[in-house]
Amino acid sequence: MDMEKMVAYAKQHGFVFQGSELYGGLANTWDYGPLGALMKNRVKALWWQRFIQEDLRTVGLDSSILMNPAVWKASGHIDGFNDPLIDCKACRARHRADHLIESFDASLHADGLTPEALDAIIKEKKIPCSSCGKHDFTPVRQFNLMFKTAQGVLDAQSQAIYLRPETAQGIFVNVKNIQRALRLKVPFGIGQIGKSFRNEITPGNFIFRTREFEQMELEFFCKPGDEKRWFSHYKNASKQFLLDLGIKEDNIQLRDHDATELSHYSDATTDIDFRYPWGFDELWGIASRTDFDLKQHETHSGEDLRLRDPETNETYLPYVIEPSLGVERLFLALLFDAYKEETLEDGETRINLALHPAVAPYSVAVFPLIKKYHGEAAQALASTLSKSIELVYDDTGKIGKRYRRQDAIGTPFAITVDDETLSNQTVTLRERDTMAQSRVNVKDLPELLRQKTAF
């Protein structure tokens, strides 16, 4: 499954459309269609269930996208959230210098190097422009990724503000409020899901790198000295979440950042990379952020952000472990991991999107065997079941075709209403992966489906 085919598949089945397509599109923006919206909501709900609901040490938050610019000064984003930009003088193509180097020779490691070091590699290796093939570049310079906008109706009074480039800072600036309001004791975590924005130099690879995206971030606050234990805990817990979602172990790997790659706030970071069509690439970043952020916010705000230790009564700035995951990157990984083209025993082929039932857009499809005879009963059953489960109703075409359509969008179960349903209140329940069919009593369906689609 290559990327071009995935983009076409996602469009054809209503997962993802090009943004503003009617007007020729807006580069690298994507709209989530009915199936994409359902699946994205499921991805977010499952993350929340695992990392907030089921972990009694963590709580949730929904902070605003627009924040006082002083936040970004303190966090280091205004001064340091840059990517190295280089222009080709011949064709005017714009590149991220580290990506230009790494896509020229994958054995070269360029992430986090200074502009001077990147210039030197590009010159020494005579790296060509990936658009026109010439080697005629401007020097590498730093480009700030923050999206700037203005707040206020009158020009003279408007204030420059930024769209947040990460959700994390909304958590850091609220930590004292949350700790007090909920009487939390270290160690505890605060998580949130929300949009972030980055003026990426080279967005691309479909929804992998975009300028508008959603993050699922958790900041876990622990006692200084305990951070290694929690770092290891979250590396394992994050990997386990992916495996529980059904992602194949072969398709993920953990990769530690070396010193040149570390962000300005981190003393250790491990990425969980997924095997995308172009190779292993970052899905989830797990960072040890020390007390960098809270210290910066203390200095810049003048507020004491230390917390009291419940055991020793001492006060300190807690250390932070941060697992940070992109919704769209997980969405894309799930699609690639699940997509299969199979040849069946009768020689027919089918697409089987073998998603975990908890993450599939629809949990179940409901069909009348013959619309004329069974349509009314099937519709009544669909209305009842739709109160507790996300389903799709389909009464067009041969039953085999209807099964294929659902297999291709990952619907794990299909219910067929037939003559027997009318006489004895049973239906056929078909399973997507095995295609096995069984007879089930209508009254048992809600509980059975709840169990079969649980996470």
- Closest to ligand GAP by CB, 175 vs 365, is 175
238 belongs to the binding site for ligand GAP (CB under 6 A): no
Cα separation, 216 vs 46, in Å, equals 11
Shortest Cβ 342–ligand GAP spacing (Å):
30
- Closest to ligand GAP by CB, 205 vs 301, is 205
Query: Which window, 205-213, 235-243, 360-368, 388-396, contacts ligand GAP (CB under 6 A)?
Result: 205-213
Q: Which of 55, 200, 281, 309 binds ligand GAP (CB under 6 A)?
A: 200
290 belongs to the binding site for ligand GAP (CB under 6 A): no
3-state SS string over the chain? CCHHHHHHHHHHCCCEEECCHHHCCCCCCEEECHHHHHHHHHHHHHHHHHHHHCCCCEEEECCCCECCHHHHHHHCHHHHCEEEEEEECCCCCEEEHHHHHHHHCCCCCCCCCCHHHHHHHHHHCCCCCCCCCCCCECCCEEEECCEEEEECCCHHHCEEEEECCCCHHHHHCCHHHHHHHHCCCCCEEEEEEEEEECCCCCCECCCCECCEEEEEEEEEEECCCCHHHHHHHHHHHHHHHHHHCCCCHHHEEEEECCCCCCCCCCCEEEEEEEEECCEEEEEEEEEEEECHHHHHHHHHHCCCCCEECCCCCCEECCEEEEEEEEHHHHHHHHHHHHEEEEECCCCCEEEEECCCCCCCCCCEEEEECCHHHHHHHHHHHHHHHCCCCCEEECCCCCHHHHHHHHHHCCCCEEEEECHHHHHHCEEEEEECCCCCEEEEEHHHHHHHHHHHCCC
Query: Which window, 70-78, 213-221, 242-250, 355-363, contacts ligand GAP (CB under 6 A)?
Result: 213-221
Strands 364-368 and 252-256: unpaired
Cα dihedral 195, 196, 197, 200 sign: negative
Q: Which of 84, 326, 357, 412 binds ligand GAP (CB under 6 A)?
A: 326
318 belongs to the binding site for ligand GAP (CB under 6 A): no
Cα separation, 170 vs 162, in Å, equals 13
Site for ligand GAP in 95-134 (CB under 6 A): none
Shortest Cβ 86–ligand GAP spacing (Å):
19
Shortest Cβ 77–ligand GAP spacing (Å):
10
210 belongs to the binding site for ligand GAP (CB under 6 A): yes
217 belongs to the binding site for ligand GAP (CB under 6 A): yes
13 belongs to the binding site for ligand GAP (CB under 6 A): no
Q: Which of 30, 274, 284, 367 binds ligand GAP (CB under 6 A)?
A: 284
328 belongs to the binding site for ligand GAP (CB under 6 A): yes
215 belongs to the binding site for ligand GAP (CB under 6 A): yes
Q: Which residue is nearest to ligand GAP (CB)?
A: 326
Shortest Cβ 190–ligand GAP spacing (Å):
13
# binding residues, ligand GAP (CB under 6 A): 19
209 belongs to the binding site for ligand GAP (CB under 6 A): yes
282 belongs to the binding site for ligand GAP (CB under 6 A): yes
77 belongs to the binding site for ligand GAP (CB under 6 A): no
Shortest Cβ 298–ligand GAP spacing (Å):
19
Would you put residue 207 in left (φ > 0), alpha (ψ -120 to 50) or beta? alpha
86 belongs to the binding site for ligand GAP (CB under 6 A): no
Give every strand in the sheet of 364-368, ordered side by side: 391-393, 364-368, 413-417, 426-431, 437-441
Shortest Cβ 167–ligand GAP spacing (Å):
7
187 belongs to the binding site for ligand GAP (CB under 6 A): no
- Closest to ligand GAP by CB, 137 vs 234, is 234
Shortest Cβ 265–ligand GAP spacing (Å):
8
Query: Which window, 27-35, 65-73, 280-288, 309-317, contacts ligand GAP (CB under 6 A)?
Result: 280-288
40 belongs to the binding site for ligand GAP (CB under 6 A): no
Shortest Cβ 254–ligand GAP spacing (Å):
13
36 belongs to the binding site for ligand GAP (CB under 6 A): no
Q: Which of 77, 95, 329, 356 binds ligand GAP (CB under 6 A)?
A: 329
Q: Which of 187, 189, 194, 285 binds ligand GAP (CB under 6 A)?
A: 285
Cα separation, 98 vs 111, in Å, equals 6
Q: Which of 198, 275, 356, 432 binds ligand GAP (CB under 6 A)?
A: 198
Cα separation, 69 vs 74, in Å, equals 9
Residues that bind ligand GAP (CB under 6 A): 166, 168, 198, 200, 209-210, 213, 215, 217, 282-285, 322, 324-326, 328-329
